[in-house]
A and B are shown apart, each in its own frame.
Chain A
Amino acid sequence: MKTRIFAIPSLLAAGFFPGKADAMPLAGVVEKKSLSVSIFERLKLEHVYTLAGHRSHSSHRSHSSHRSSSGTGYVYRTPKYYEPQQVLPVLPKTRTYQAQPDYTPDSSATASGDLSAVPLKQELKVLPGNSDKFKQIVIQVQNALSLYGYYDGVIDGKIGPQSKVALAKMQEDYGLKVTGTITPEVLNALSIRAY
């Protein structure tokens, strides 16, 4: 009893872990296969959800043994509701918790600007009904414009620059509002039934 006190084996020796190399799955080596491993994975994602504008004082930051570092410890001033930094931003009930994805969004997915289009990695289900219908109408419009001498381009069912010019000219001649687009008035004037 005097020298080696570990009468009852340690976690390792107790056979919980097959060998030294695997001894510290706790230290970050986590197998993916088992379902319940995710319990542990889950812990690492814990910081993902934080109250918006109110990052937890102890979030992921550590303090070392010799110096407590930045900040004022756990007790900070009694939150005053009216101080802006204490107030949660106006968020709906469905969005009170702002997830902070801990990855950087793929830059290819967000091209320049806030609202730019996103190339889909997977083909979304198209809506052939509308496309066919739109194309049909455009063909009728191009035919009519061509018949009346406004358009001499290809009848392709797509409104390109040439069609726009033709539409604008036609609208001007007919005393319609000039938009360069297919409006209900244009369809009426060309006797195309679309609705």
Chain B
Amino acid sequence: MIDLRLKIEPFPAVEPFVLRLRYDAASSEDDAILVDREAGRFEFDYNGFSLVVHAPDGMDLDGDVIMVLPGQGSAHRLVRAASPHNTFLVTEQCDQLCVMCSQPPKKHHADLFPQFLKAVELAPDRAYIGLSGGEPMLHREKMFSFLEVAAAARPDVRFHILTNGQHFEEADAGRLRGIGVERVLWGIPLYARSPEIHDEIVGKPGAFERLQCSLSNLMLAGASVELRTVVMRQNFSELPALANYICNRLPFISVWALMQMERIGYGRMNWASSFMDTSSDFSALKSAINTVCARGIEAALYNFPLCSVPQPYRHLAPSTISDWKRKYLGSCEGCGSRDACGGFFEWYKHDEGFRGISPL
């Protein structure tokens, strides 16, 4: 696993601040310049102050945007310049309680929008930044303002925002278009065509109905949506009906992502009752995928090891597990497809996992 935190030596900050690490020259007063480097220790000059970061020698920190929190011995790597996997955790609050949630919600919220804004400002050219939660849109007003200011400041930066889709209004159309509908991809989960099953999975009565309303609003606004469906025992047999529903009711989506579960958080607690071994039974997925493909809607399989997917569908399974939480099994050693495969989540447990897989 790649650590998303960096050990730092004490720094006299009184509130969280964001800076960019540079090896050569500063181009902003938020840049810290490397002045000294020895085994595992990088010393930067940040406006005359020394900032000492401890990191493995091989690690490239140039261009990384980090956040220093007062009194903490580590800094958050908000943007790793060399990685496409950069996500800001906007909040840990959430108004749904999904059975497979990988990051169960917390009550407390620390507001870091100004810091995120600075991080966007300092991000590499054409960065694609993820915003996640919790439910980021619980802080609707701040999210919209953040996106508006960020969009104006950095016309080249694009966003991928994970939201439960419970908070879009018809009147948001203007703001969405102001930010730029082609610059934001909203990743929104929908688990079943049946309201009961969907509501049960997300632990919120009425969620399906509200989601339908939001999706309709997003469609009218011209927003770009990635519809996300975690495949589970609860919704597996419903997938073909959901595919049909998508073709008829949500024809505007940019892609339908069918996702395997992460065995962490509630996903770990509910693994036995929820994990669907799609390596042993892929049937409903076939039908669902074929339906949307025929109708011209892109389908994609996220977090599926290639060997768990039947050959005709493998090209739909990009390597999606973030670099920092990806692992391979011992048996992957001899696999010829390893380079193309996203592998397994760090917290995947094989004896409770896919039964029908073997190296390709």
Per the 8 Å Cβ criterion, residues 27-41 of B in contact with A are: 27-28, 30-31, 35-36
Question: Which of A94, A98, A101, A105 gathers most chain B CB within 10 Å?
Answer: A94
Residue-wise, chain A 76-89 has the 8 Å CB interface mask toward B (1 for contact) of 00010110001111
Q: Do the beta carbons of A49 and B84 come within 8 Å of each other?
A: no
- The chain B residue sitting closest to A141, CB to CB, is B48
Contacts A81-B314, A159-B47, A179-B45 given: A96-B252 contact, CB under 8 Å?
no
Q: Do the beta carbons of B153 and A121 come within 8 Å of each other?
A: yes
What CA separation (Å) do A163 and B15 show in the bound complex? Answer: 25
What CA separation (Å) do A192 and B49 show in the bound complex? Answer: 14
Q: Do the beta carbons of A90 and B319 come within 8 Å of each other?
A: yes
What CA separation (Å) do A94 and B320 show in the bound complex? Answer: 8
Q: Do the beta carbons of A94 and B130 come within 8 Å of each other?
A: yes
Q: Do the beta carbons of B27 and A116 come within 8 Å of each other?
A: yes
Q: Is B329 among interface residues, defined by CB-CB distance under 8 A?
A: no
Q: For the side of the interface on A, what is the size category?
A: 35 or more
Q: Do the beta carbons of A111 and B27 come within 8 Å of each other?
A: yes
Q: Do the beta carbons of B255 and A94 come within 8 Å of each other?
A: no
On chain A, the residues within 8 Å of B155 by CB distance are 101, 103, 105-106, 109
Per the 8 Å Cβ criterion, residues 170-190 of A in contact with B are: 177, 179-184
A-B contact count (CB 8 A): 208
A104 smallest CB distance to B (angstroms): 9
Q: Is B215 among interface residues, defined by CB-CB distance under 8 A?
A: no
Q: Do the beta carbons of B255 and A96 come within 8 Å of each other?
A: yes
Question: Which of B49, B114, B254 gathers most chain A CB within 10 Å?
Answer: B49
Per the 8 Å Cβ criterion, residues 338-354 of B in contact with A are: 340, 342
Contacts A101-B182, A115-B81, A120-B121 given: A134-B12 contact, CB under 8 Å?
yes
Q: Do the beta carbons of B48 and A117 come within 8 Å of each other?
A: no
Residue-wise, chain A 32-48 has the 8 Å CB interface mask toward B (1 for contact) of 00011011011001001
Q: Is A97 among interface residues, defined by CB-CB distance under 8 A?
A: yes
Q: Do the beta carbons of B340 and A87 come within 8 Å of each other?
A: yes
B4 smallest CB distance to A (angstroms): 13
Residue-wise, chain A 91-125 has the 8 Å CB interface mask toward B (1 for contact) of 11111111101110110011101111110111011
Q: Do the beta carbons of A134 and B125 come within 8 Å of each other?
A: no
Q: Do the beta carbons of A122 and B298 come within 8 Å of each other?
A: no
Q: Is A23 among interface residues, defined by CB-CB distance under 8 A?
A: no
Q: Do the beta carbons of B321 and A92 come within 8 Å of each other?
A: yes
Q: Do the beta carbons of B318 and A99 come within 8 Å of each other?
A: no
Q: Is B110 among interface residues, defined by CB-CB distance under 8 A?
A: no
Contacts A45-B182, A49-B255, A130-B17 given: A118-B154 contact, CB under 8 Å?
yes
Contacts A96-B302, A105-B155, A115-B27 given: A42-B252 contact, CB under 8 Å?
yes
On chain A, the residues within 8 Å of B306 by CB distance are 81
What CA separation (Å) do A39 and B222 show in the bound complex? Answer: 6
Contacts A127-B15, A159-B48, A179-B43 given: A82-B153 contact, CB under 8 Å?
no
B187 smallest CB distance to A (angstroms): 7
Contacts A38-B177, A114-B125 given: A82-B336 contact, CB under 8 Å?
yes
Q: Which of B30, B87, B125, B314 contacts A94 (CB 8 A)?
A: B87
Q: Do the beta carbons of B160 and A95 come within 8 Å of each other?
A: yes
Q: Do the beta carbons of A88 and B319 come within 8 Å of each other?
A: yes
Q: B-side interface residues toward A, CB under 8 Å?
A: 9-10, 12-15, 17, 20, 22, 27-28, 30-31, 35-36, 43, 45, 47-50, 62-63, 81, 84-85, 87, 114, 117-118, 121-122, 124-126, 128, 130, 132, 149, 152-156, 158, 160, 162, 170, 173, 177, 180-183, 185, 187, 219-222, 224, 226, 252, 254-255, 257, 259, 298, 300, 302-303, 306, 314-315, 318-323, 336-337, 340, 342
Please give 10 more A-B residue pairs, beta carbons under 8 A apart, in addition to A82-B340, A118-B153: A39-B222, A49-B224, A49-B255, A90-B84, A91-B84, A91-B318, A95-B128, A97-B185, A124-B149, A180-B35
Q: 24 A-B Cβ contacts within 8 A?
A: A35-B170, A38-B222, A49-B224, A82-B337, A89-B318, A91-B318, A91-B319, A93-B303, A94-B85, A96-B300, A99-B185, A101-B155, A109-B153, A114-B124, A115-B124, A115-B125, A117-B121, A118-B153, A127-B114, A133-B14, A158-B47, A177-B36, A179-B43, A184-B9
5 tightest Cβ-Cβ pairs between the two chains A and B? A159-B48, A117-B28, A88-B318, A105-B156, A42-B222
